[in-house]
Amino acid sequence: MTKIKKMITAALVTTMVAGAAVPAVFAAEVNPAVSAAAEKADSMGMIFDHPFTDVGPRYEEAVSFLYALEMVNGKTATTFGTSQSLNRGDAAVILANALGLDTENAEDAGFKDLNNRVRGAVNALAAEGIISGKTADTFAPGEPLSRGAMAKFLVSGFELEEYAEKTPFTDVGGVFAPYIEALYGTGITSGKTPTSYGTHANIMRGEFANLLYNTILFVIDNEYVPYAEAVSSINSTSFSITLTEAAPEEYTAGDLWDLFYVDITLEDGSSIMVNPTSVTLSADRTLLTVEHGTYDLNGKAGTIWVDGELSADFNYKN
């Protein structure tokens, strides 16, 4: 599992299970497949919302989703700017938010035209090799983002290069061609018309929201999401999670742990987020054993929760 895919899958599964749900019916441009992670969150009966008055039905689901997960903000408190061009700086901020990158500690990329609002995001994306500047020392954050450059942002950011396939578009060529082919191959976009992608046209904020939303759902749909069928407290410093099926070989115990949302609720109502000292996977790859020795439950009683659904009570007061 690659670094970026692990990061985005873990962040979204955790966030959605903890506090929101993906609606079961998407707008016309949105991938109609409901992801496993989305179904898990949807079962909790929560919804997304936003405060914008200029978002029509075509963009409603995407903007609601991205706003609820704090990936996007509006142009004002009540307008999203759906039909306005998205500039390169704003695109960088949105993409860095979506990928959960460290925007505070990223190495300076050397661009001299960045303001404080976009600097951290641009530096973080450049450090991951996701974006490049207009020149060696300029990023041009205020310039509109073209649809071709948008394809590069999304495909590089979410590592979708392997899905490239020939398109029917007559306006695709040059440096952006492989990225557009990858977006087309995933089904994330079908172009502006059956034969044109609009490579050099500016991307609108509403369009970008839909395409980013499609991309996130595609990544989740194509990444393994583990499900638990049982959780058991072993002793005051460890518990186990039983998977519904054997985990794929390429996933480590740490990878699997990152894809669950786990907390411990004590009988006084306080909650503890588990920070394991070690996580191990059984030989048959169906049982995770979690050690949390730095937080001993001796003398305490409560419940271990996994994904807000499965639970196991414990009592180590005696």
Burial per residue of 94-120, b for 16 or more beta-carbon CB atoms within 10 angstroms, e otherwise: bbbbbbbbebeebeebebebbeeebbb
Q: Could you read off the pLDDT of 231-271 as tens digits, one per residue?
A: 999 999 999 999 999 999 988 999 899 888 888 999 999 98
The model's pTM is 0.70
Partners of residue 240 on adjacent β-strands = 232, 289
Strand order in the sheet with 262-266: 271-273, 262-266, 301-306, 310-315
pLDDT score for 48: 63
User: Is the domain defined by 228-315 classed in CATH 2.60.40.1250?
Assistant: no
Q: Could you read off the pLDDT of 277-291 as tens digits, one per residue?
A: 999 999 999 999 999
Residue 193: phi and psi, rounded to 5, are: -140, 175
Q: 99 pLDDT band (50/70/90 cuts)?
A: confident
Q: Could you read off the pLDDT of 47-94 as tens digits, one per residue?
A: 567 899 999 999 998 898 888 888 899 999 999 999 999 999 999 999
Sign of CA dihedral 53, 56, 62, 65: positive
Report, as an integer, the average pLDDT of 26-34. Answer: 31
Asked if pLDDT for residue 119 goes beyond 90, the answer is yes
pLDDT score for 44: 39
pLDDT score for 19: 46
Least confident segment among 80-89, 115-124, 130-139, 252-261:
252-261
Sorted by where each begins, the domain ranges of the chain are 3-221, 228-315
Hey, what long-range contacts does 170-178 have (CB within 8 A, 24 or more apart)?
170/195, 170/196, 171/196, 171/197, 171/198, 171/199, 171/200, 172/197, 172/199, 173/199, 174/148, 174/199, 175/148, 176/146, 176/148, 176/149, 176/151, 176/152
Asked if pLDDT for residue 102 goes beyond 80, the answer is yes
pLDDT score for 208: 95
Compute the mean pLDDT over every residue in the chain, rounded to the nearest whole number: 85
Least confident segment among 47-61, 181-195, 298-312:
47-61
Q: 34 pLDDT band (50/70/90 cuts)?
A: very low
pLDDT score for 294: 84
